[in-house]
A = this chain, B = another copy of it.
Amino acid sequence: MQTPHGRVQTPAFAPVGTRGAVKAVTHRDLLGLGAEIILANTYHLHLRPGAPLVGRAGGLHRFIGWDRPMLTDSGGYQVFSLGDRRRIDEDGVSFRSHLDGSLQRLTPESASDIQAQLGSDIAMAFDECASYPVSEADARDSMERTLRWARRGRRRFLDTGEHPSSLEGEVTNAGQAQFGIVQGGVYKALRDESARETVSIGFDGFAIGGLSVGEPPEVMYDIVEHTTPMLPDNHVRYLMGTGMPDDLVECVARGIDLFDCVLPTRNARNGQLLTQHGPISIKRAQFAEDHRPPDPECACYTCRRFSRAYLRYLFVAGEMTASTLNTLHNIHFYLDTMRRIREAIVLGSFDTFRQRFHETFSRRP
């Protein structure tokens, strides 16, 4: 995948830096781990520090000091997660800031404009993400609104590209791409319609949204398998917000090129470390004098240098370094899994890799 800030090898995983920083690690840690792209969050950056400030700083890359590829979500998912604190109308969404309760508004146009000021390499169209479970009628309403919003968002994105001076604020990344988002819940007929129409709008890449919102993994796999063939294979196919390591393997098998997920970082801060055999909870007393590394087969800094006993102690003591070391390990695990997947694909042995991965890895230790 080519971007104005460089190439990303796919299939790829983007660590999540919601507020312009991947929690508990530095950019140089991420570069050392081989991260080629990170994700930042339009909703959070819109509320603080605000797109105009970031625009005046020269864009998000310059503001946060990350000069590699960056993707911003559209804020849709976060806004819809606000529940009672938001109201949807045909034009957009009004909501109360989680920071100060102030009344805020996002529309397909403003989400495009904000991302133009942020200057991410990949901007996402503003979508409505249905919850789970959801009736087919409600899933249809939200899918159809997402399509109408996609057309408006795409028009605004193209207009701004042609006439940067039309934007109130700076366009900080002239080469920004915009991805559309396929919705439709777990209903294949809706996914069909959403995929067909979203593709016809002509985005630079395509995402599958509205999954990993509570449905069983098999349902998610089934919808991914059903949807990816309808997306052009010369464009990036991005599965938003997924998942556990075995999900990545299964969804690559179904055609996904790009992932993002908070699990490796959030779980690290909660003491869950990934190993080849599955996650372990480092806070458990059984690790108090376990002098092995978290994953004896892992080559990351944490595993080369520290024991389960020390990591357990740091976690129980509440030392910030616990979050850092756990996060380094989990991100390494995700990025290394993607490297192994890419290598297996190149070698023509992905099916064997996939089978062996599942023989070893189990979500329940």
A residues with a Cβ closer than 8 A to B are 19-28, 48-49, 53, 56-57, 63-65, 288-289, 291, 301, 305-307, 309-310, 313-314, 316-317, 319-321, 323-325
Contacts and interface: CB of A to CB of B under 8 A. Distances in A.
Contacts of A63: 307, 309-310
A26 B56 contact: no
B321 A48 contact: no
B320 A323 contact: yes
Contact of A320 (B20, B24, B314): B24
Query: Can you tell how many copies of this chain the complex includes?
Result: 2
Nearest to A22: B321
Given A57-B291, A310-B64, A301 B28 contact: yes
A49 B321 contact: no
A26 B289 contact: no
B306 A65 contact: yes
Contact of A65 (B19, B24, B310, B316): B310
A321 B321 CA distance: 11
A324 B48 contact: no
A21 B64 contact: no
B21 A316 contact: no
The 9 A-B pairs with the shortest beta carbon distances in the complex, nearest first, are: A21-B321, A65-B305, A49-B313, A24-B320, A65-B306, A21-B319, A19-B317, A63-B310, A23-B320
Nearest to A67: B305
A19 B319 CA distance: 8
Given A20-B313, A316-B48, A289 B325 contact: no
